[in-house]
Structure 1
Amino acid sequence: MLLRFALFAALIATPAYAAPVRKAPPKPVVAKEVPPQPLHDTETVVMTTDLGTITLELDGKHAPISTANFMRYVDNKRFDGVVFYRAMHLKWGEQPNGLIQAGTRGDPRKTFPPIAHEPTNQTGVLHKAGAISLARLAPGTATGDFSILLSDIDGLDANPQSTDPEAQAGYAAFGHVVSGMDVVRKIWDQPVDPEAGEGFMKGQMLAQPVKVISVRRVVAP
């Protein structure tokens, strides 16, 4: 979401009547994918950031598609070096109220194909404080971006009774933070750039994104 690419072209001594010669951009170098590991009912991962460590438990039993997708990125180290780039501050309710967001942002070197949508009315994994949820555009477009909630945000859950297709689908929560909510809060508290971002995200982009150094699975003893 919200991809930013800077494209630079240099035209040197090109006649006015001639079309500039453009070289095809090099294909991104993508590391060979490691074989998938069996999915457990509960997967635990440790996310190390510039501001501290966040430990997450993912619900492979009830949200297997979303959890397997996240673990695919983990096992292939595709989250290493990404950043938390967004902090959404909701002005109402008990504070802190909102979420932080990170991920691959469509980088072709890191991003796997989209996955099927897992609505919360099917999984039972809800958007409560500490939940991790996949970011998406339309349902079925989620890839390598995710949010961690500072508060309960029931509006992100699926609402089959709604007449709005977006609200009907909701977002796919698939786990929660078991330690490191203080780090989540530190990221959320970082200054935002009031001019950065588009549409409803304007003013929600971190002025200095927080780097994710690594994300690793915790192997059960």
Structure 2
Amino acid sequence: MRAVFLTELGEIEVELDDKRAPATVKNFLRYVKAKAYDGGTFYRTVTTEPDNQPDKTIKINVIQGGAREGFKAFPPIALERTSKTGLKHKDGVLSMARDTPDSATEAIFICVGDQPELDFGGKRNPDGQGFAAFGKVVRGMEVVKKIHKSHADGQALTPKIAIKKVVQKP
């Protein structure tokens, strides 16, 4: 199953792994069905060149986005750890953003390059639990890279990159 992010810079098509990360895919699709991402944005770029994470010893490269302003998030979901799913944060992988374990709601990120420190046991997050990978970009990685290199004030994309809508494909 697939979904397409229609952004102001082009389309990003992702293949969702509902076999290995069923709860995370189900969570993402409930936001898609609720049209939460329609009018949302990619609002964050985390880069190593230039380095916009001076306070971090473990550096990553990702773009992050989410639902439109004012959308009331559904309750958080349990973290599907990469140690259980077997999915890894490789180039183009789609994952759920979170603060603490079991706190993910609607925010997503896409890896630019391999990011093993985001997997279970990785050191980017002090708790070592990693993030819930649940899909991968199959078309539009050039759009992801364009967003990643867009102008930012620190990690905040300025301006934010509009997500016109996200649609599910069979």
TM-score by length of 1: 0.69
Q: In structure 2, what residue type is equivalent to 1:136?
A: R
Q: Choose which of 65, 79, 83 in structure 2 pairs with 1:102.
A: 65
The answer to whether the 8 A contact 1:85-1:206 is kept is: yes
The answer on whether the counterparts of 2:39 and 2:67 sit within 8 Å (CA) in structure 1 is no
Aligned partners of 1:104 and 1:110 also within 8 Å: no
Cα distance in 2, alignment partners of residues 59 and 214 from structure 1: 21
- Name the amino acid aligned to 1:109: F
Provide the residue aligned with 2:99 in structure 1: 137
Structure 2 unmatched ranges of 5 or more: 51-59
Seen in structure 2, the aligned counterparts of structure 1 residues 110 and 213 have a Cα distance that, compared at 3 Å, is farther
- 1:116-148 deviation per Cα after TM superposition (whole angstroms, max 9, x unaligned): 010001001110000001000100000000000
Asked if 1:48 corresponds to 2:10, the answer is no
More strand by share: 2
Structure 2 Cα separation of the partners of residues 66 and 108 of structure 1: 22
Count residues in correspondence.
160
Amino acid at match of 2:169: V
Task: Tell me the secondary structure at the aligned position of residue 122 of structure 1.
Answer: helix
Aligned counterpart, 1:191: 151
2:132 counterpart (160, 172, 176): 172
Whether the 8 Å contact between 1:100 and 1:149 is mirrored in structure 2 is yes
- Report which structure shows greater RCO (CA 8 Å, sep ≥6): 2
**Quick one: distance in 1 between partners of 2:15 and 2:33?**
15
Q: Aligned partners of 2:5 and 2:63: how far apart in 1?
A: 14
The equivalent of 2:165 in structure 1 is: 214
Give, as a single letter, the amino acid of the residue that structure 1 aligns with 2:155: Q
Tell me which residue corresponds to 1:181. 141
Q: Deviations over 1:140-182 (max 9, x none)?
A: 000000000111000000019x8x8611x11111110000000
> What are structure 1's unaligned runs of at least 5 residues?
1-42, 194-202
Identity %: 43
Report if aligned partners of 2:38, 2:67 keep a CA contact under 8 Å in 1.
no
Backbone CA RMSD of aligned residues: 1.9
Counterpart residue identity of residue 142, structure 2: D
Instruction: Tell me, yes or no, if structure 1 residue 154 matches structure 2 residue 105.
Output: no
Note the alpha carbon deviations across 1:93-121, whole angstroms, 9 max, x for none.
Answer: xxxx611000138x553411100010001
Aligned to 2:57: none
Q: TM-score, normalised by structure 2?
A: 0.88
Distance in 2 of aligned mates of 1:188 and 1:208: 13
